[in-house]
Structure 1
Amino acid sequence: MSWTALFHPPDTLAALALALAIEAAAGYPDALYRAAGHPVTWIGRGIAALEAGLNRGGARARKRKGVLALGVLIAAVGGAALALTAAAGLAGPVAGLLLVGLMCAGLPAQRSLHDHVARVARDLRGGGLAGGRRAVAMIVGRDPETLDEAGICRAAIESLAENFSDGIVAPAFWIGLGGLPGGALYKGINTADSMIGHRTPRHEAFGWAAARLDDLVNLPASRLSAALIVAAAALHRGASARAAHRAVSRDAGRHRSPNAGWPEAAMAGALGLRLAGPRVYGGTRVADAWMGDGRAEAGPADVEGALALYRTACALLLGIAAALAGAGFLLAGA
């Protein structure tokens, strides 16, 4: 089989379905992480090296060097993913597809995200505010000491919604479109944004290109993630798909992020909550619009309700990938 066969839509979608199923069942094994690290840590080391070597000079020079660093990163990540896809293709149609699916399984983070958010509700119940603050500090950047119980729970739900979009739906979208190279390139861009795409004196110019490109590549997934949450709400008693859709239509565009507002508004409306709004990062109060028009007093039960919607939305994503892959194979064989 030619390695290029793994870029045909039925194959990329089948690899996506395999990757989502494998990652949901097994996550990223701790033993593998200890032995070899994770794709994000490999990419992160490259970004750190580029940043250390290039991020100097005036603002204009830093911006140019940031574009250069992003180009080098994209070339390196894309080249490595292409080589791995080519090597997998040599194993034959079935084995090659399985190998690509296994490699793609390291890109979405369904299980890890679920476990981290579930821990917030569990530790809040078992350890009070101190336990909840410690757990939520693992997944959000805001100051945990400023959060009461409702703030902790809202932060956990917001993180779940936003990371459903950029941690699961976005890599899935790009895997489905471009196989392992598509997913790996997305992960490289997203990791660069998380490391250098900050509005700080050191990174505002150097990370400009990474931040803008990350906004662009996340546009499709943010809209799709909102649709999946709305669909999941329609399947859950006690959640409202109508309110979720209404919140997205009204509030998503008011969020300071061009993408985060979509899944956050959908989750807020589905659960009858208000999410986002003003919050504190590094001692600085950040003003943002509220997503949803429900109650602000969230509790551990709301976190668990959000996780239930998340599990259903992940299952819908897997079902769509599998159905499209099956349809693609049928059409290819016709």
Structure 2
Amino acid sequence: MLLYQNALALLFTAIILDAIIGDPKWLWARLTHPVVVIGRLITVLERSLNRQSFSARRRKAGGVATAMLLVGLSSAVGAAVHGLADLHPAGYALVVLFAAILIAQKSLYEHVAAVRDGLLREGLEGGRRAVAMIVGRDPKQLDEAGVSRAAIESCAENFSDGVVAPIFWFAVAGLPGLIAYKAINTADSMIGHKTDTYREFGWASARLDDLINLPASRLSGLLIVAVAPLLGGSAGGALHAVRNDASKHRSPNAGWPEAAMAGALGLALAGPRIYPGYTVNDPYMNRSGRKAATARDITRALQMMLGACVLLALLVLLGAVFL
């Protein structure tokens, strides 16, 4: 297919389009976002295949079938859009548009920056309201440092999940790979929980999400390490934190970008956290770092993320030119 010969050029165009436009609220107030469509499909499948009257074995099998169906359908949609590009040049624009929609550079920046702005404009309560939009922990239990650390952790982890992973899977497998990635990542966020309701049904989606995020999480950490000295951070500190602490994170993937960000900024991230109804006692990423994070540290984290986005875009552009 001719499209695959131009995949990296299309990907670079999508990265730039997302950086400029992002996810405008006015548009998605009128249209249904593809991730919402994926979420609705997951809900339908969950209601049908995860009934509490079913045995644990049957619910687990239903979860495996759900994950397989999501990968198959999403890949088929991506392949169909690719096919349109083979038939008509306008199809290339559709590929770029789909890819830009599913990459989250600008929207991630805006959500994290909203926490910083909330702290600066309205104090702790403003920060708590904004951070509740991007993390699951109990905002009432967070002081200013806790709000700031939560925002920075979300920035680092979602840089991997929302930016690097979609770009990586498009580069590897085109639009089918990107949409399949988003489908599994969405399923993990909806059903990949270790609760009585989802432990069996969400098992396959959670394990598959861990697998497909593995390469992007490592790349995310390396990108942060690479840009750190250019933006007032410490590459050595980032590498040290990744080497010593990334594997201690409860997630097999989130520890890489979080540890890199923590070491680059000289902060201690993760650690004990309070969620509604329960507490986790995780180790710190870069445990010797400063715990008293502030709104200024959120700005520094956003600068690191932007620098890493630019570096990633340049790598894609180099690939488009020379490969």
Q: Could you tell me the TM-score, scaled by structure 2's length?
A: 0.97
**Runs of 4+ residues over 6 Å off in structure 1:** none
Distance 1:222 1:244 in 2: 14
Q: Could you tell me which runs of 5 or more consecutive residues in structure 1 were left unpaired when the two chains were aligned.
A: 329-334
Percent sequence identity is 54
The one-character-per-residue Cα deviations of 1:265-314 (angstroms, maximum 9, x if unpaired) are 00000000000001011221111110012110000000000001111111
Distance 2:249 2:78 in 1: 34
> Quick check: 72-81 or 317-326, which moved more?
72-81
How far did residue 232 of structure 1 move?
1.2
SS in 2 for 1:184: helix
Kindly provide the amino acid, as one letter, of the partner of residue 264 in structure 1. Answer: E
User: Is residue 125 from structure 1 mapped to residue 120 from structure 2 by the alignment?
Assistant: yes
2:45 maps to what in 1? Answer: 50
Distance 1:25 1:188 in 2: 24
| From 298, 304, 312, the counterpart of 1:303 | 298
Distance 1:5 1:91 in 2: 11
Kindly provide the amino acid, as one letter, of the partner of residue 295 in structure 1. Answer: R
Distance 1:75 1:177 in 2: 17
SS in 1 for 2:101: coil
Kindly provide the amino acid, as one letter, of the partner of residue 248 in structure 1. Answer: V
| From 256, 270, 275, the counterpart of 1:262 | 256
2:245 maps to what in 1? Answer: 251
SS in 1 for 2:133: coil
Q: Could you tell me which runs of 5 or more consecutive residues in structure 2 were left unpaired when the two chains were aligned.
A: none
2:72 maps to what in 1? Answer: 75
The one-character-per-residue Cα deviations of 1:73-105 (angstroms, maximum 9, x if unpaired) are 11211111111110122113xx44333112211
Distance 1:108 1:234 in 2: 26
C-alpha contact 1:82 1:181 (8 A) present in aligned 2: yes
Distance 1:307 1:64 in 2: 41
1:280 maps to what in 2? Answer: 274
Q: What's the RMSD between the two structures over aligned residues?
A: 1.0
| From 61, 64, 72, the counterpart of 1:64 | 61
Distance 2:258 2:77 in 1: 34
Tell me the number of residue pairs that the alignment of Structure 1 and Structure 2 aligns.
320
How far did residue 125 of structure 1 move?
1.3
C-alpha contact 2:81 2:94 (8 A) present in aligned 1: no
1:331 maps to what in 2? Answer: none
- Equivalences for residues 181-192 of structure 1 within 5 A: 181-192=176-187
